[in-house]
A and B are shown apart, each in its own frame.
Chain A
Amino acid sequence: MSYVTIENISKAFKGQTVLHDLNLSFKQGEFVTLLGPSGCGKSTLLRILAGLTSPEQGVIKIDGCDVTNVKAKDRQIGMVFQSYALFPNMTVSENIAFGLKMQKIPSETIKQKVARMVALVGLAGKENAYPRELSGGQQQRVALARSIVTEPKVLLLDEPLSALDAQIRKNLQKQLRTIQQELNITTVLVTHDQEEAMAVSDRIYILNEGRIAQSGTPHEIYTKPGSEFVARFIGNYNVLEGSELSIATSEREFSNRLYAIRPEAFSAQYMEDSYTFSGRVNKVMMLGNITRYEFSSNGIVVTAEHLHQSDEDVQEGARKTLYLHKKDVIPLS
C-alpha cells in the first residue's frame, strides 16, 4: 500500500512546463531517489511535496490524507536543504530543538530528544557549538538531526551531500542509510549523482525533462536501462547502433536500432553463448581498483572495464579478444 502518492502533478514556470503530469508512489519506510540531470524538475517535485511550491494541477497524498493545499508547516515533513539552512544565531542543540519547540513539547522531553539525536548523528560534545564553528559534514549532520527529531512522516533530502568532498560524502551516505533504516522513515532523496542514488536507495525514479524516464530498484535500473537516455545517464554504458554491433562482432543478428552494453560485461575469458570482439586496446585508464580501456574492434570503439589485477595487465596497443555474453547486449527502446 502506498504511503505517499503523487498523482497527475504538473508545474510550469513562466509558461514553460517543467513537470508533465507525473505519477509516483512510495511505500512506508522506503528510501526513494529522484535522479536526473540539472533542470529535469526533480527539485521542483521535491518542493511541491514539501509544500514550498504549488503545483498547477494534481494531488499529493501522505498517509491517506490529501495535503495538496496544506501549508508546509502543517505537513509533518522534514527537509534537509543543499545549503543546510541552519539557523546561524542558534547552537547545535537549539537548531535541533527548534521544531520541537514549535510543537510546544515540554522542555524536559525536548532535552532528552535532542540528546538522543546528537548521539545518533555523532555530534556529542558539539551541542553548544554554532553552525559557523562546524565543518560542512558536521553542519549537514545537524541539518539531518533537526529534520528527523520531529519524527516527520516523510523526510525530504534536496541534494544534501553535493557540497561535500568525496570521502565525507561516502561516509555520510552510509550514515544516512543506516539512520533511515533504524528509524524506518519514508525518505525521498533528490540527486544528480547516480552512484549516490545506487548506494542508498530502495527505489529510483529517473527524471528527464519533467517526465519519468524509468523507475525501479537500483539493480533493475542498472542492469536493464529502458532507454538511451537512462543507459547514458546511469553509468558508463556503451550505446551502439545495431549496425555498429554487427561490424564489431561480424554477426548479423542485431535488428534493433540501439543496444546498451555494460563495460564490465566484457571478459577476456571465453564464455559459452557469447559474441567475440577482436581488436586492439587504444587507451588505458587506471581508476584504482578498476582498469578502464577503449577497445577497437573492426573500427568500432567500445569501453571495457576489468577489476585491476596484476595478472591481467592491459597494455595500450596490445591485440586482444574479448567475449560478451549474449544476454548482456540490451536492446534499447
Chain B
Amino acid sequence: MERLSGYRGELRRALEEEGINIGDLISVRSRGFEYRGILMPRSELEDEWHIVLKLKSGYNIGVAYRPGETVIRRLGEAEKPHFRPPPPPVSKEGLPRVSIISTGGTIASRVDYFSGRVYPAISASDLYSVVPELSEIAVIRSEILYSVFSEDLTPEHWSGMARRVAEEIEGDVDGVVITHGTDTMGYSAAALSFALQELPVPVILVGSQRSSDRPSSDAALNLIGAVTAAARAPFAEVVVGMHRTTSDTEIAFHRGTKVRKCHTSARWAFQSVNTEPLALYRKGRIEMILKDYRRRDPERQLVLRDRFEERVALVKFHPGFDPELIDWLVDRGYRGIVLEGTGLGHVAQRCFKSVGRAVEEGLIVAMTSQCIWGRVHMKVYRNGIMLLRLGVIPMEDMLPETALVKLMWALGQTEDREEAVRLLRKNIAHEFSPRTLYQPWGGVQR
C-alpha cells in the first residue's frame, strides 16, 4: 500500500515532514486536546483536511487538520494484530478435480485490519481456510486470470476466458469454476456458451452480491454450490450459479444464454428469463429442473470458437430516439446492430430509413424486446412487418444482451454475412426456446 494513501496537499506534507506512515501510532494536538491513535488511510474521494485515526477502542475518527495550529507527532510503530490462521484442511484424495479461475471478483477474500480493504484469497489453501467445506467436495486447483472489475471486461477477455477453460479441460479436470464480478457476469456466461461448444464437463460462473469479508456474505454458499456442480453435476453446459432467493438454502444454476442480473443489490439478482433454471443445489446435492440438457461426458471433444467481433452495438429504442445514432454506427464501420425495441419488437417509422440503409450497407440488424420477458412477434403490427421487409432479423425470446453477444460471436466466426446470419438464427446453446411457457410474475422467483 502507498505509505500515505489518500492524504494530499498540506496535510500530506506535514505527515511526510514527521516521517509518519500509515500504521504508525501518532499524537495529534489541536486546541488544547490530544488524540492518540493509529494513522489510517484516507479515501481519495474525501477532503484533504482530516486525519483518520484508529483509537485504542478500535473506532476510527476524523481529526481536523488546521495548518499552524495542529501539531502531529509520531510516537512509534503500532503493534499489528497477530494473525493466527487455523490450519487449512487438507484436501482428500480421490475427490473430483475442479479448477477455479478468478477474473477479478472477490468471492473469497480477507480484510486488511488497518485499511479495511479486501484482498482476494485465491490459492487453494486460502480457499480451503476461508470455506473449509470445499475440501470435502473437490481437489481444487486455482489461479488468477484477470483482476478486473466486471464492468471493465471486454470481448477480448471473453476470448481469454474461453481459451483458459479449454486448457483446463485439456488438463483433465472434472469441472471448471470461474469467479466473476456480478455486473457483467451474464454477458460472459453467454459468450462462453457460444465459444465453448461440445463441452465435456460443466463450466460454472459464480460471484457474490455481498462481499466475502462480511459474515453474511452469499459468497461461501455460492462457491460451495458452484464447486459441487463442477465436481458432480450431470450436465455439461455453461451456467451461472447464484442464490435462488434471499435465504442461504439454494443455489440456482441458470443457463448462460438465458440469465440476466435483474436486481442491483439483492442475493437473488440473477434470474432465468423465459425459462426455468437448469438445476438447483440444495442440501449438498444437485437437482436437475430441466430435462433437456447436454450430459457430462469426459470423452467428448471440446470445440473452441473464441473469436468475437467488437463492432456490434446494442441500441435501445425509446420515445424521442434519434435515428442518426444508427447512421453514426453505420458510418463508423459497425458490422451489426441489435435493437432493443418496444413491445413485440418495434421502432418508430422515422427510424425506417436509417435501419434500411444499415442493412443495405451490409450490417446485420437484429430485433429484441426491451420487455425482457416474452417473445418478439413482428408480424402482428404494420411497423413490425415493415421492419422485417427492411431485413431486420427477429431474435425470438432471446435476451437483448445474449443477442448482442451472439451477434459479436457470429461475426467473429466468419466474414460472410450470410453465414453469420445463419449462425445467428441457429439455436446453439438454448438461447432460443421453442415454446413460451407460463411463468407467473414473469418468471421472477418468489
A binds B: no
Residues on B lying within 8 angstroms of A by beta carbon are: none
Residues on A lying within 8 angstroms of B by beta carbon are: none
